[in-house]
Structure 1
Amino acid sequence: MKNFRSDRAFMLLFALITLSFTTSSFTSRFGLDSYEIYLDNKLVSKHYVNQPLNLRVLQLDKAKENGQLKIGYTHCMSKGNGTGRSLTLKDEDGHLVHTWPFADTTVPEAKMAIAVKDLLAEAKKNTGHELSLYYTARETPKGEMLSMIRFK
């Protein structure tokens, strides 16, 4: 009789563990920073920071010079904006090309905007270099590479 109860308890425990794994596999990516990149208010890229870098290429050859690139970065812990935010353009050797600082905001999911003409100007100054866009905030002091920038 005792064996029957222990077997039943074991089966119930196993079923609950299986159910919890199954339901957790359908939840959104918990605990990961994410970001979205918009070109003229059109979503062109959405990533989580653990995705491979080869997927993070932003092709701007068809971007209008008077356009705007907007980046919304969401931190996993605060589920919102960071503080002391900036976007930085770096070359392939990690040398700083240009930095755009942004004010702290309490507006949920506030986006950071860069004029496409500013990116084009920096690309012309740095002809022959591969440029990448980085995000830095107090919450991510080492920074996070968002995307490689391509104009051709």
Structure 2
Amino acid sequence: MQQAFLKRTLPKLMAFVTVCAALFAFAPRGVDSYEVYLNDKLLLKEYALKEVSLKSLHLDNAKASDRLVIYYTHCHSKTAGTGRSISIKDGQGRILKEWKFADVKDGKKGMIIPVKELLALEKQHAGGQLTMHYAAAELPQGQLLAAL
């Protein structure tokens, strides 16, 4: 009786294990993530996948004295990258402004952007599409973060 049960269930169990192993083999090992804060208020938290849904940062109520803080964590290191930069690009992909940030020894360190500089760019390019991008030595092709 037990042998008949094993003969019926063992092939099904092995097929299930094989499918699970195949799924886990192709699953991503980790994903980069980023958070955007206006002063201390979280505006955006995303996982940087190849297909991003373009989120907008609304700075309508922001004051010129405010600051935007961006934390970007690389999956493989769980820390900030090296050679980090944030850039604002126009609709044609031209860099309008770029901020470069020092490397961090331990933990995560925010990249601070003065809101007055973002507001000035929005004013200079009113009606145009502006996007914010992150780049680092670990991610030289860059990552689209948000639209302004």
- TM normalised by structure 1 equals 0.80
Partner of 1:40: 39
Partner of 1:53: 53
1:14 shift after superposition: 5.5
Listed one character per residue, the Cα deviations across residues 3-50 of structure 1 (whole Å, up to 9, x for unaligned) are 5433343354456678x68xx8xxxx8521110000011111001122
Partner of 1:117: 116
Partner of 1:9: 10
Mapped to 2, the partners of 1:15 and 1:138 lie a distance apart of: 41
Provide the aligned length of Structure 1 versus Structure 2.
Answer: 141
- TM normalised by structure 2 equals 0.82
For 1:28-107, list aligned pairs within 5 A.
30-50=29-49, 52-54=52-54, 56-107=55-106
Q: SS of the residue aligned with 2:135?
A: strand
Specify the code of the residue in structure 2 equivalent to 1:87.
I
Q: SS of the residue aligned with 1:57?
A: coil
Mapped to 2, the partners of 1:119 and 1:44 lie a distance apart of: 15
Mapped to 2, the partners of 1:107 and 1:40 lie a distance apart of: 22
Partner of 1:142: 141
Specify the code of the residue in structure 1 equivalent to 2:145.
L
Q: 1:135 to 1:37 in 2, by over 3 A?
A: same
Segments of structure 1 that go 5 or more residues without pairing to the other structure are: none
1:95 shift after superposition: 0.7
Mapped to 2, the partners of 1:14 and 1:132 lie a distance apart of: 47
Listed one character per residue, the Cα deviations across residues 116-137 of structure 1 (whole Å, up to 9, x for unaligned) are 0111122222233211110000
For the aligned residues, what is the CA RMSD? Answer: 2.5
Most deviating of 2-11 and 40-49 = 2-11
Identity of aligned residues (%): 39
Mapped to 2, the partners of 1:3 and 1:144 lie a distance apart of: 56
Q: 1:61 to 1:30 in 2, by over 3 A?
A: farther
Partner of 1:129: 128
Q: 1:15 to 1:143 in 2, by over 3 A?
A: closer
Segments of structure 2 that go 5 or more residues without pairing to the other structure are: none
